[in-house]
Amino acid sequence: MIVKVNVVVEFPLGAEFYHTLDLEVYKKFLRFLKSLTCFSVNEKCSECKQQDSCQYNQLTGRNFTEYPGVFMKIDRFGKNRFFAQEERRFTFYFIGECEKYSDFVELFFHSLRQSLWKNPFYLKQIQKERVDESICSGTTIEVDTVVENDSLHQIIQNTLTSYQVQYGLQSTFSCESLEPDREMKIREEPCFLGTRKVRPVGKIGTYRGEKIELPKFLFETGIGRWNYLGGGKIAIKNTFDEREN
Domain boundaries, the chain: 2-130, 135-244
Orientation angle between helical segments 21-37 and 104-111, nearest 10 degrees: 110
How far lies 111's CA from each of 91, 150, 190, in Å?
17, 41, 29
CATH class of 135-244: alpha beta
Q: Tell me the average pLDDT across 102-107.
A: 97
Query: What is the predicted pLDDT for the residue at 243?
Result: 40
- Three-state DSSP state, 186: strand
Asked if the domains at 2-130 and 135-244 fall in one CATH topology, the answer is: yes
Which tens digits make up the pLDDT trace of 145-166? 999 999 999 999 999 999 999 9
Q: Is the pLDDT of residue 245 over 70?
A: no
**Is pLDDT at 195 greater than 80 in this prediction?**
no
DSSP label at residue 156: H
Which one, of 126, 102, 131, lies nearest residue 29 by Cα?
Answer: 102
Burial degree of 81 (CB within 10 A; 0-12, 13-18, 19+) = exposed
The percentage of the chain sitting over the pLDDT mark of 70, rounded to a whole number, equals: 96
What pTM, to 2 d.p., does this model score?
A: 0.93
CATH topology of domain 2-130: Alpha-Beta Plaits (3.30.70)
- pLDDT tier, 175 (very low <50, low <70, confident <90, very high otherwise): confident
Distances (CA, A) of 160 to 74, 88, 153, 154: 20, 30, 11, 10
